[in-house]
Structure 1
Amino acid sequence: MKHLLLATAALACAAAPLLAQTATPTEGDTATATQAKKYEPWGFDLSARDMAVKPGDDFDNYANGGWAKRTEIPGDQPSAGVGYDVFNLSQVQLRSLIEAAPATSLIGGLYKSFMDEARVDALGARPLAADLAKIAAVKDKAGFARLNGAQSAGFGLPLFSPFVYSDPNRPGINTFYIGQAGIGLPERDYYLKPDFQPQRTAYRAYIERALAMAGYPTPAAHADAIMAFETEIAKVSWAAADRRDLDKTNNPMTVAELKKLAPGFAWKEFLAGAMVGDPGTMIVQEKSAFPAIAAIFDKTPLDTLKAWNAFHTIYQASPYLAKTFVDSRFEFVRSLSGVSAQRPRWKRGTTLVDQSLGEELGRAYVERYFPASSKQEMEELVGNLKLAMGDRITAAPWMSAATKKEALAKLNAMKVMVGYPDKWRDYSKLKIDAADLYGNVERSHAFEWAYTLTDLNKPVDGGKWLMTPQTVNAYNGGEENKIVFPAGILQPPFFNPKADPAVNYGSIGAVIGHEISHGFDDQGRKIDATGKVRDWWTPEDAKRFDAQADIFGKQYDSYEPVAGTHVNGKLTMGENIADLAGLAVAHDAYLRSLGGKPAPVIDGLTGDQRFFLAFAQSWRDKQRDDAIRQQVASDPHTPSRFRVIGPVRDLDAWYAAFGVKPGDKYYVAPADRPRIW
C-alpha cells in the first residue's frame, strides 16, 4: 500500500442517519469558504513567493519563501503548511458535524465521553485496573503470548504485528500477515544512533513515570529492564528501507513452519489470543528478525515481559485517562516532534471520533462538504491522467514491447475510487457509552479487529477503503491495483473547480499521477495487473529501470534537510519515483487538456509556470527539526522541501518554463536527468 504523508451511496445498513441536520451555516461552512478565498482568483497565492530567489537555485523558496518568512509553526503542530491548512479545515468541518450529533448517537456519545474531562480526571488510574490485573495474573510465557495476541484487539503492543490484506501470491484472496514489532520508539535507529540520545532519555523517563503513576512496583528498575529489552529487539529488527522491499517481505509459510523458524515463542497461544487460530498460509514479513526476536523473548524474564506489557498498555491508554497521564505522555511525545503545546481537547476528541467511527462520520461529511459535481470532475481528471500515463508507457524508448504490454494491462485494470465508498460500514454493533471513555476506546479496538478478521481467507472486497472519506490523503492499493482519493483532499488548493486548469493539474493532478505511478515504482512494478507479485519485466528492461533508479536515488541521498541528516534515497525511492513520474504525467495531461491551443498568460505567468508553482504550493511546508529527523529515520516520504525541488529539477519542461541554466544550484544537465517513466 502506498500513501501520498490526503451522489447517493448504497448503505451497509438501513439505520437512519445519526447526525442532526440543520440548514444553518456552521463553523465548518465558514471555514470552507475562507479556505477557498485564500487562493482566489486563479488558485495560487502570489504573495507566497520570494522573488529575490532564482527558481533554479531553490524552487521551494522561490515559490514559498515569502510565506515561510512570515509563518510561525503553531505550538501544537510539528509543521505548518498547505497540508496542515487543509487538515485543520477538515477538523473544523468535522467538529461542526460532531457537535450537532445527539449524545444518544454513536458519534455524539463517543465525543461526549471524551469531552467530559472532569469525569475522566475523577477516575484517575482506575480504568487501567482490569487490564493491569490481567497482565499481573499471567503465570508463564505461554499465557503471556496468549494475552499479547489478544492485545491486537485492545490496549497494549503485540510483540509481533498481525494484519490482514490481499495475498501477494494468490490474487483476490485476503491472507494473514505478521511483522516485527515490540518497540515503542518510532524506529530502530532511535535505540542505536547517538543522534537520538535525547529521545531515548525522554522515553526511559516516561516509562518510569507511567509505571509509577499506575502503581506498578519498582518502576525505575523495570524501566531499565524495558529499555534493555526493546534495545535488543531494535538491534535485530530490519531497517525501514528493507521493510518496503516486496522481494524480501513476501515469505509465505504455515504455522508449523513459523514454529520451526522461530521456536522460542509460543505461536499457537499468540494466534489463539488474536482469535486467528491457524490462519493457513501466512506472510511472514521480516523473516530473519523473527527467530532473533523469539530468542530474545525466550531469554527475557517473565517479570520484565509483564512490566513491558503493562507499560505499553498504559502508554496506549493514556490519552483516555486523567490529565496527569495525558500530560506525562505528552512530555515524552514532544521530544519526538518538537511541539511545545498539546492540541486543544476538541481536536483530540474529533480525532478519536474520526478514527473510531470514520465512515459513520464520513457519510455526513460528504453530504455537506463534497458535491456530486466535484466527484464527477475529479473522475474526469483521473481519466485524463490515466490516458497520459498510457501514452508515456507506450512512448518509453527504453522499454520493450513485451514489458509495455504488461504495463498497459496493469494500468487499464487499475480501479479508481473518488470521494467515498459505494457501500458504508455498519457500526450498529459497537457499544458506545457517553459515561465510559476508556471502555468506548477498548470496545472500538475490539470492533475494528473483529472487522479485520472478517476478511481473513475470504475474497478481497475491492470496494472497501483503507482511508475514510474525510482523510486529507490518497493511496495506491498495491496488490489490489486501485487508486483512492478521499473527499478530504479534494479541497483548495489541492483541488478547486473554480481554479485555473494549470493549478488543478499541477496540484491534484500531480497527486493523481503520484498514485498511478506507484503501480510502476521500484516495488509497484513487481505487482502485475491481477495483484500478484511476480517478475513481468524482461531482464534488459529491469536493468535499465534499476540503473535510472540508482541515479535518482543518489540525488536524494545528497539532500540534507537538517544539518547532519540526509534523506535516505533507498527508503524513499518509491515515493520519490511517484513524485517525479506523477508530476511528468500531470504535465502531459495538462498539455493534452489544452487541445493544442496555447495556454493563456495570467498575472504575467505562462501556463507551465502556473503548473509548477501550483505543484510547489501543494508541498508548502515548514517543519521543526525534530519532526524532520523523525521523518527521515522512519518515513518513506522525503521531507516536503525536497518533494518540491527533487522532481522539478529532473523535468525538461521546468527548465524551459523558468529559464534555469547551467550554474544554477539545482541545474542537472539533460544527459544526467534520470528518465523514469
Structure 2
Amino acid sequence: MKRYLLSTLTLSLMAAFAGAAEPAATAAPATTAAPAAGTLASGISTQYVDPAVRAQDDMFVHTNGGWLKSTEIPAEKASWGSFAKLRDDVTPQIRSIIEALQKDDSQKAGSQARKVGDLYASYMDEARRDELGFKPLSAELAKIHGLRDKKALPAMFAHLTKIGVTAPYGVYVGQDARDSTRYAAHVYQNGLGLPDPDYYLKADDAKMADIKAKYEKHVAEILGMAGRKDAAAAAKAIVALETELAKVQWTKVEQRDPVKSYNKVSLAKLNSLTPGFDLKASMAATGISAKTDYVIVSEPSYLTGFSKVLAKTDLATWKSYLEWQLLNSYAGYLSKPFSDAHFAFFGTALTGVTEQEPVWKRGVGLVEGAMGEAVGKQYVEQYFPAERKARMEVLVKNLLEAFRQSIDTLDWMGPATKKEAQDKLAKFTPKIGYPNKWLDYSALTVARDDLVGNVMRSNTFDYNRNLNKLGKPIDRDEWGMTPQTVNAYYNPQLNEIVFPASILQPPFFDMNADDAANYGGIGAVIGHEISHGFDDQGSQFDGNGNLRDWWTAEDRTKFKAKTAMLVNQYGAYSPVDGYKVNGELTLGENIGDNSGVAIAYKAYKLSLKGKTAPVIDGLTGDQRFFMGFAQVWRIKMREAKQIQLVKTDPHSPGKFRANGTLMNQQGYYDAFGVKEGDKMYLPPKERVTIW
C-alpha cells in the first residue's frame, strides 16, 4: 500500500509512511547565523562554468560545462548530478546513525533503536543469507503451489499484496478526492515486471524488444535457481501473460486525469467490473470490506480487461506468475546468486549500471524504507541546524506572497477564478524540515537473524497501518517523505507543500550565499511545489483538497491553450536519439518548473526592496539567480536509464528543465541580453507564461 498522489520535485524512492505518533524531535542546535552581507558568497559553482559556451546559447552547458566534462557517472549509479550527489553525502550520515544503534548493546529488546540496529544487522549478515538461499520463501511458495483452482486467486492476490508482492491490481488507502475529510480505499492497475507497457508492446523498437527478451531470460534464470525444471517454458508463459496485461493498461498520460481516475464503486457492484473474477471477495480478504462499503477504482476498463486475461490463462501459468513475482520481490534479500542475478537485469540491463552499491548502502536503503522516520528523528537532531528552518520559513512566506501578487495581475484570468485561486493559496500548509510528530514502530517485529521475515513483517506493518486509516479522521501531520529525503512535494488533497531537511543544503540552499542563488535554487523549488497546486492536475482540486471545478469555462480554455504550448515545446526535446520527451506526461512538472522559477524571480525582486543587488564573482544578482536555477539541474545519465525515464517519469530530463524553462522567462533574456539569433531565443509570442 505505497501509492500516494504526490507531485514530487524529482523522481525518487520515497520512504513509506509507517506508525502512529511520538513527540517531535528537537532540531540540531543552531551553529552560526547567516554571514553579514559583505561576506556572502555568490552561491554559484563558478569552477564549473564553461566560458566557451555562451549563456545565451545553452545555459545548462554554460553553467555546468566544466562539471559535465570532468565528471564520470559512478559505476554503481544510473545517473549522477545535484540530487544524487547530495543523497550520497547524506547516506554516510544515516549510516553512522544506524551503525551506532547496531553496536549499542544497551538498547532494550523491542525498543525502536534496537529494531533499527537489528534490521540493519539482518541485512549485513551475508553469510546467513547465502546459507539459507531461497528457503525463507518456502512457506509462501508452498501456498502458491497449493492453489487448486482459480477461485482461490482473489484471496491469494490479497495476501501477496499485504507482504509487498506485485499482483495484477493494487490497493491503498488515501483521501477521497471528492470528500477530502475522509479516507477511501483505492484499487489500481498493477502486475507488470517491466517499467511500462511499451517494453512489452513496442516490437518495432529494438531497444524495447531487447529488454523484453532479456527479461524473459532473467525470469527463467530466477525460476531455475528456485528449482523449476521447466523454467524456460514457464518464463515464456509469464512474459506472455504480462504482455496481455500490458495491452489493457491505461497509459501514464491517461492516469494523470484525476476526473477519469475517480470511479466510486460500491462493494456490492464491484464484481460487475470483473466478470468471472470475484473482486469483491478479494477486497474482503484485504480487510477493506470490514471498514467501508465502497472503493475508488482508478482504471475500471483495466479491471475488466484483466478479468478477460484471467479467464483465458490457465491456472498453471498464474501459479508460475505468482511464484515469479514473489521471487522477484524478495530476490535482493536472498543469497548472493539471487541478488546478483536480480541486479544483472534490473541494474545493468535495464538502467546500464555496472556495479552494485556496497552492501552497507543497500542495508541503509532497507532501513530507510522500513523505519525511515526512526532514523530521521536522529538525523534532524544531529544534522539539521535550527537556523536553516527559520531562514527557509522566510523564503516560503516570500514565495507565497509573490504568488498571491501574481494571481492578481494575471491578464488571462477573470475575477471569479482569481478569487477561488486566492482562496486556495491562502489555505496552503507549508511543512519544513521534519514532522511535528513521529511515527511509532512499536507494532513492528524485527529479528536480527531473519532478514526476509523482517521485510515481510515491515510490508505487512505498512499495509495494516495504511488500512487502519479507514474510518478515522485525516492525519494532517503525516509526511510522505522522511526528513533525510532529498526531494520536495505537493499533496493536492492536503493542499500542502513539503520540504524535507536534506534538500535544504547546497546547491539548493546555502546559508553562506547571497539570496540570489538561493532564490534561484530552493526558491524555484518552493515555487515549483506551490505551482503544482495550480498545474493541469492540481488546479482541479480546491483549497480544501476536493476534486472540484472552480474555474470559469473561459478561464479554463485560456489555461489549456497555454499548457498546450508547453506540451508542444517539451515534446520537441529529445535526450536520446529516437526518444522524445512526452509533453503530455511531463506537463504538470513543466508547469511547476516554469511557474516556479517565474514566481521565485518575482519573490527575489521583492526581497531586494528596491535596492540593487551586489555584483559577486562578476555576476549580477539576476545572473546569479538564473545560474543558481541551472546548476540545480546538473546531471549526467546512462542511456538505458534515460530511455526508461522518458517512458515513465513525469519530469523532463535535467537539461530541458533548465534550458526549456529559462527560454520562457523574460528575466533571463534581460539578465543575459538574449536576442534574436541566439540559440536559446524564442520569439515573445512563443514563450509560455502562466503564473
Normalising to structure 1: TM-score of the pair?
0.94
What amino acid does structure 1 have at the position aligned with 2:603?
Answer: A
**Alignment equivalent of 2:654, drawn from 633, 640, 651:** 640
Q: Deviations over 1:526-581 (max 9, x none)?
A: 00111111111001101100001111110001001111110000000000000000
**Alignment equivalent of 1:303, drawn from 304, 313, 316:** 316
Structure 1 equivalent of residue 8 of structure 2:
3
Tell me if structure 2 keeps the 8 A contact 1:600–1:606: yes
Q: In structure 1, how many angstroms separate the alpha carbons of the residues matched to 2:575 and 2:23?
A: 50
What amino acid does structure 2 have at the position aligned with 1:95?
Answer: R
Q: In terms of mean alpha carbon deviation, does 272-281 or 69-78 score higher? A: 272-281
Tell me if structure 2 keeps the 8 A contact 1:421–1:464: yes
Q: What is the CA-CA distance between 1:358 and the residue it aligns to?
A: 0.8
**Alignment equivalent of 2:272, drawn from 235, 243, 260:** 260
Q: 1:102 to 1:182 in 2, by over 3 A?
A: closer
Structure 1 equivalent of residue 121 of structure 2:
112
Structure 2 equivalent of residue 374 of structure 1:
388
Q: What does residue range 607-646 of structure 1 map to in structure 2 within 5 Å?
A: 607-646=621-660
Q: In structure 1, how many angstroms separate the alpha carbons of the residues matched to 2:666 and 2:250?
A: 38
Q: What is the CA-CA distance between 1:187 and the residue it aligns to?
A: 0.5
Is it true that 1:164 corresponds to 2:169 in the alignment?
no
Q: What is the CA-CA distance between 1:250 and the residue it aligns to?
A: 1.2
What amino acid does structure 2 have at the position aligned with 1:316?
Answer: S
Tell me if structure 1 keeps the 8 A contact 2:264–2:295: yes
Is it true that 1:467 corresponds to 2:470 in the alignment?
no
**Alignment equivalent of 1:291, drawn from 291, 304, 321:** 304
Is it true that 1:243 corresponds to 2:243 in the alignment?
no
What amino acid does structure 2 have at the position aligned with 1:415?
Answer: T
Q: In structure 2, how many angstroms separate the alpha carbons of the residues matched to 1:630 and 1:16?
A: 39
Q: What is the CA-CA distance between 1:650 and the residue it aligns to?
A: 0.1
**Alignment equivalent of 1:534, drawn from 548, 563, 576:** 548
Tell me if structure 2 keeps the 8 A contact 1:198–1:335: no
Q: Secondary structure at the match of 1:248?
A: coil
Q: In structure 1, how many angstroms separate the alpha carbons of the residues matched to 2:284 and 2:52?
A: 64
Q: Name the % identity.
A: 45
Structure 1 equivalent of residue 194 of structure 2:
185
What amino acid does structure 1 have at the position aligned with 2:82?
Answer: V
Q: In structure 2, how many angstroms separate the alpha carbons of the residues matched to 1:40 and 1:182?
A: 53
What amino acid does structure 1 have at the position aligned with 2:8?
Answer: H
Structure 1 spans left out of the alignment, 5+ residues: 24-28, 30-38
Tell me if structure 1 keeps the 8 A contact 2:164–2:460: no
Tell me if structure 2 keeps the 8 A contact 1:160–1:178: yes
Q: In terms of mean alpha carbon deviation, does 561-570 or 142-151 score higher? A: 142-151
Structure 2 equivalent of residue 52 of structure 1:
52
Q: 1:102 to 1:15 in 2, by over 3 A?
A: farther
Structure 1 equivalent of residue 161 of structure 2:
152
**Alignment equivalent of 1:271, drawn from 264, 267, 283:** 283
Is it true that 1:426 corresponds to 2:431 in the alignment?
no
Structure 2 equivalent of residue 361 of structure 1:
375
Tell me if structure 1 keeps the 8 A contact 2:22–2:438: no
Q: In terms of mean alpha carbon deviation, does 254-263 or 64-73 score higher? A: 254-263
Q: In terms of mean alpha carbon deviation, does 636-645 or 261-270 score higher? A: 261-270
Q: 1:229 to 1:40 in 2, by over 3 A?
A: farther
Is it true that 1:600 corresponds to 2:594 in the alignment?
no
Q: In structure 2, how many angstroms separate the alpha carbons of the residues matched to 1:44 and 1:172?
A: 44
Q: What is the CA-CA distance between 1:387 and the residue it aligns to?
A: 0.5
Tell me if structure 2 keeps the 8 A contact 1:249–1:284: yes
Q: In structure 1, how many angstroms separate the alpha carbons of the residues matched to 2:164 and 2:466?
A: 16
Q: Deviations over 1:340-391 (max 9, x none)?
A: 1111100000000000001111100000011221111111111111101111
Q: Deviations over 1:128-151 (max 9, x none)?
A: 111101111112222122011112
Structure 1 equivalent of residue 3 of structure 2:
none
Q: What does residue range 409-424 of structure 1 map to in structure 2 within 5 Å?
A: 409-424=423-438
Tell me if structure 1 keeps the 8 A contact 2:44–2:517: yes
Q: In structure 2, how many angstroms separate the alpha carbons of the residues matched to 1:488 and 1:198?
A: 38
**Alignment equivalent of 1:329, drawn from 316, 338, 342:** 342
Structure 1 equivalent of residue 67 of structure 2:
67
Structure 2 equivalent of residue 349 of structure 1:
363
Q: In structure 1, how many angstroms separate the alpha carbons of the residues matched to 2:690 and 2:427?
A: 21
Q: In structure 2, how many angstroms separate the alpha carbons of the residues matched to 1:426 and 1:227?
A: 40
Q: In structure 1, how many angstroms separate the alpha carbons of the residues matched to 2:45 and 2:194?
A: 38
Q: In structure 2, how many angstroms separate the alpha carbons of the residues matched to 1:141 and 1:666?
A: 59
Q: In structure 1, how many angstroms separate the alpha carbons of the residues matched to 2:330 and 2:677?
A: 55
Q: What is the CA-CA distance between 1:620 and the residue it aligns to?
A: 0.4
Q: In structure 1, how many angstroms separate the alpha carbons of the residues matched to 2:234 and 2:451?
A: 29
Tell me if structure 2 keeps the 8 A contact 1:366–1:487: yes
What amino acid does structure 1 have at the position aligned with 2:95?
Answer: R
Is it true that 1:82 corresponds to 2:82 in the alignment?
yes
Q: Deviations over 1:398-439 (max 9, x none)?
A: 100000000010000011111111111110121111111111
Is it true that 1:649 corresponds to 2:663 in the alignment?
yes
What amino acid does structure 2 have at the position aligned with 1:526?
Answer: Q
Is it true that 1:501 corresponds to 2:519 in the alignment?
no
What amino acid does structure 2 have at the position aligned with 1:304?
Answer: T
Q: What is the CA-CA distance between 1:664 and the residue it aligns to?
A: 1.6
Q: Superposition RMSD on alpha carbons, in Å?
A: 1.8
What amino acid does structure 2 have at the position aligned with 1:60?
Answer: F
What amino acid does structure 2 have at the position aligned with 1:331?
Answer: A
What amino acid does structure 2 have at the position aligned with 1:650?
Answer: N
Q: What does residue range 95-110 of structure 1 map to in structure 2 within 5 Å?
A: 95-102=95-102, 105-110=114-119
Tell me if structure 1 keeps the 8 A contact 2:595–2:690: yes
Q: What is the CA-CA distance between 1:12 and the residue it aligns to?
A: 5.6
Q: In structure 2, how many angstroms separate the alpha carbons of the residues matched to 1:325 and 1:85?
A: 29
Q: In terms of mean alpha carbon deviation, does 248-257 or 424-433 score higher? A: 248-257
Q: Secondary structure at the match of 2:439?
A: coil
What amino acid does structure 2 have at the position aligned with 1:199?
Answer: I
Q: Secondary structure at the match of 1:479?
A: coil
Q: What does residue range 512-531 of structure 1 map to in structure 2 within 5 Å?
A: 512-531=526-545
Q: Secondary structure at the match of 2:102?
A: coil
Structure 2 equivalent of residue 553 of structure 1:
567
**Alignment equivalent of 1:483, drawn from 486, 497, 513:** 497
Q: What is the CA-CA distance between 1:269 and the residue it aligns to?
A: 2.7
Structure 2 equivalent of residue 33 of structure 1:
none
Structure 2 spans left out of the alignment, 5+ residues: 1-5, 13-18, 32-38, 104-108
Q: In structure 2, how many angstroms separate the alpha carbons of the residues matched to 1:605 and 1:426?
A: 49
Q: What is the CA-CA distance between 1:56 and the residue it aligns to?
A: 2.5
Q: Secondary structure at the match of 1:457?
A: coil
Q: In structure 1, how many angstroms separate the alpha carbons of the residues matched to 2:587 and 2:630?
A: 20
Q: What does residue range 12-23 of structure 1 map to in structure 2 within 5 Å?
A: none
Tell me if structure 1 keeps the 8 A contact 2:42–2:617: no
What amino acid does structure 1 have at the position aligned with 2:240?
Answer: A
Q: In structure 1, how many angstroms separate the alpha carbons of the residues matched to 2:316 and 2:686?
A: 58
Q: What is the CA-CA distance between 1:40 and the residue it aligns to?
A: 9.0
Q: Deviations over 1:469-492 (max 9, x none)?
A: 111111101111111111111111
Tell me if structure 2 keeps the 8 A contact 1:56–1:667: yes
Tell me if structure 2 keeps the 8 A contact 1:156–1:310: no
What amino acid does structure 2 have at the position aligned with 1:171?
Answer: S
Is it true that 1:567 corresponds to 2:567 in the alignment?
no
What amino acid does structure 2 have at the position aligned with 1:225?
Answer: A
Task: Say how many residue pairs are matched.
Answer: 655
Q: What is the CA-CA distance between 1:459 and the residue it aligns to?
A: 2.3
What amino acid does structure 2 have at the position aligned with 1:287?
Answer: P
Q: In structure 1, how many angstroms separate the alpha carbons of the residues matched to 2:240 and 2:157?
A: 19
